[in-house]
Amino acid sequence: MLGTYYYHEIIRKTIISFGTLFNSIEIRHTKQDGSNFSTVKVPIAYGPSEKFIARLEQKPDPRRRVSITLPRLAFEMTSIAYDSSRKVSTMQTFKTFTKDGTKTARKVFMPVPYNLGFRLSILTQYNEDAMQIIEQILPIFQPSFNVTVDLVESIGEKRDVPLVLENINFEDNYTSGYDEKRVITHQLQFTAKTYLFGAIADNSEGLIKKVQVDYNTSTNTKTAKRELRYVATPRALKDYNDDNATTLAQDIDTEQTKFLVTNASSLIVDGYIYIGKELIQIREISDETLLVYRGVDGTQADSHISGVSIDAVTQTDDDLVEPGDDFGFSEERFDFSDGRTYSPTKGTDV
């Protein structure tokens, strides 16, 4: 397990999402008549507040073109801790598909819950500036606020990460002479409840694509003869690839089971077609005329007009069924009298 390289940038993305939340805060100064005198957008940077305070207190350097000014925001990640209250089974998995256009199935282990601690420092010279900034932040957190983070881009795994405001500390170091700069510091402690993912498998190993059961004549499988085999595979209940196999050549109502299509060459008997949101099974094909079962697998029979596109539901669609979608089963039954058995290791009858 260790030594397999992967890097999803989850911690980095969470840090960026946290900082971005506060990058549009501004303060306004007004005249005595209430009109706006100035508007200042408060800058924000990653780093400890002590770094910026030290810059403020250092002697002026004539080589620097611009000195650090107040107000400003500073934030940093202060801790990483495992969150046992959100723990799930370490062996539990879920299925997903890649988002690179190939729609390749992947088996992914459940993520590990971790809490990231953040500290947001508000540095101001005047109490009024600090109050304006704080009042733009506190009402958002009650005490949490959710931000959506694209945790694993390769599989499109986006989750809402709660940012919980834990506490607020206040400090004013203005205790010396008038020649020292005053810095009022408010520190807000946050916890981001995120998840860390492990390596994502490069194949679909572990996905169940086929179920096969052999029935014997008795419970003694060593001496009993095999009589029947049942095989079930997932079957799509809708079209996924918009193949536009043909078009409808006439108007049909909800009860009509025989109709014309413009080209039936790519359709097969016992196959399925998809019109609108209705799944239809083909019973017979005669030239360009189809005899069908309407509204199968729980879909609703509907009226359709001539010229509407008809999609064929094929094995390609079966392979594109996504996690959480409804699907049916293609079933096959085989009778045997040869006394052979199936070898899982060889993948064939022996």
Task: Walk me through the domains of the chain, giving residue ranges and CATH numbers.
Answer: 10-196 (3.30.2000.40), 208-237+326-350 (no CATH), 242-319 (2.40.33)
Q: How far is CA 210 from CA 120, 241, 329, in A?
A: 53, 22, 10
Give the pLDDT of residue 218: 75
Q: Which residues pair with 122 in a beta bridge?
A: 73, 186
Count of CB atoms within 10 A of residue 299's CB?
17
- β-pairing verdict for 93-97 and 105-109: antiparallel
pLDDT tens digits for the chain (350 residues)?
Answer: 566 788 899 999 999 999 999 999 999 988 888 787 888 899 999 988 777 666 655 555 555 554 467 888 999 999 999 999 988 776 665 655 556 555 566 667 788 999 999 999 999 888 899 999 999 999 999 889 999 999 888 777 889 999 999 999 988 766 555 556 678 899 999 999 999 988 876 655 556 778 888 887 777 766 777 778 888 888 888 888 888 999 999 999 999 999 999 999 999 999 999 999 999 999 999 999 999 999 998 899 999 999 999 999 998 888 887 656 788 888 888 887 766 777 777 777 76
Give the pLDDT of residue 36: 79
Give the pLDDT of residue 252: 93
Element (H, E) at 120: strand 112-124
The first and second tokens of residue 232, run together, are 């079930």
Q: What angle do CA 310, 316, 323 make, to 5 degrees?
A: 105
Give the pLDDT of residue 284: 93
Question: What string of DSSP letters covers 206-258?
Answer: T----EEEEEESSS-TTTSPEEEEEEEEEEESS-SS----EEB-S-B-SS--E
Judge if pTM exceeds 0.75.
no
Give the pLDDT of residue 48: 81
DSSP, collapsed to helix, strand or coil, labels residue 301 as: coil
Give the pLDDT of residue 109: 77
| Nearest-angstrom CA–CA distance, 127 and 206 | 60
Contact between residue 316 and residue 226 where contact means Cβ atoms under 8 Å apart: no
Tokens 């069924």 found at: 321
Contact between residue 270 and residue 331 where contact means Cβ atoms under 8 Å apart: no
Give the pLDDT of residue 73: 92
Q: How far is CA 107 from CA 45, 88, 299, 320, in A?
A: 38, 16, 30, 15
